[in-house]
Amino acid sequence: MMTSSQGHFAVRQATHSPRDGQNPPASRFGQHPALNNPDKLRHAFAAFPSGVTAACALIAGQPTGMSASSFTSVSLDPPLASVCIARSSTTWPALRTAGRLGLSVLAKGHYAVAQALSARGIDRFAEVQWTPDEAGAVFVDKACLWLGCEIRQEVPAGDHVIVLLEIVSVREFPSAEPLVFHQSRFRQLRTEETS
């Protein structure tokens, strides 16, 4: 069990009653201040390391895309994945009209690509090497993985939208090492030698 000297617990009481009509037990850890402060909660979420993806497509003949670290696999049968997109995104309204999205898992050399695809007011693809497919998906060159995807559902979730994607094509690049996002910084994996 983690003690208070090792870290903080954040437990939020459920807003609904259990099916048996009983009230849920009060948390013995109490409510953490981060639950009422978006900046502190963002900092707490940043403790979870994740890969970095780029969601891109041709829109009116031009490459359009954004970076996202909230990618996850969902299902093998049918093949599904998801990304979470902020409702404030100005890029998603255009991307969601694409027939096919290219999802690229960025590699360790893609720090500048990840920065460019999350920047505002610039030509995001000016320094990005990319490849389109015949359906209009756009993939970042030298990535770890390319997934061709079609949007199946969008689920509102607070200040984000969960986008469920059906995977229609896969291309792996096993020698590429991934870019990692942790504590709001881009990092690389390091292999630990075991005896």
- Please report, for the domain that includes residue 131, its CATH number: 2.30.110.10
* 6: in domain: no
Residue with tokens 């061709």: 148
Q: Is the pTM of this model over 0.95?
A: no
Q: Confirm whether 156 is domain-assigned.
A: yes
Any alpha helices (H) in the chain, and if so which ranges? 38-45, 92-95, 111-116
Is residue 142 situated within a structural domain?
Answer: yes
- pLDDT band at residue 11 using 50, 70 and 90 as cut-offs: very low
* 39: phi then psi, degrees, rounded to nearest 5: -65, -40
User: Is the residue at 37 inside a domain?
Assistant: no
**pLDDT tens by residue, 111-162:** 899 999 989 888 999 999 999 999 999 999 999 999 999 999 999 998 899 9
Pairing state between β 138-140 and 130-132: antiparallel
Cα–Cα distance for residue pair 84/155, rounded to 1 Å: 9
- Domain count of the chain? 1
At residue 37 the predicted structure's pLDDT band, cuts being 50, 70 and 90, is: confident
Answer whether residue 136 is part of any domain.
yes
In a domain, 31, yes or no: no
Phi, psi of 148 (to 5 degrees): -85, 125
**What is the token pair recorded at 19?**
């099916």
Q: Does a structural domain hold residue 153? A: yes
Beta strands in 3-140 (DSSP E): 50-51, 53-59, 62-68, 72-75, 80-86, 101-105, 130-132, 138-140
* Amino acid making up residue 60: A
Q: Name the residue range of residue 70's domain.
A: 50-185
Which among 175, 55, 48 is positioned nearest to 114, based on CA atoms?
55
Per DSSP, the three-state class of 181 is strand
State the Cα–Cα distance between residues 103 and 87, nearest whole angstrom: 19
In a domain, 190, yes or no: no
Q: Output 29 or 164, whichever has higher pLDDT.
A: 164
Residue 50's pLDDT band (boundaries 50, 70, 90)? Answer: confident
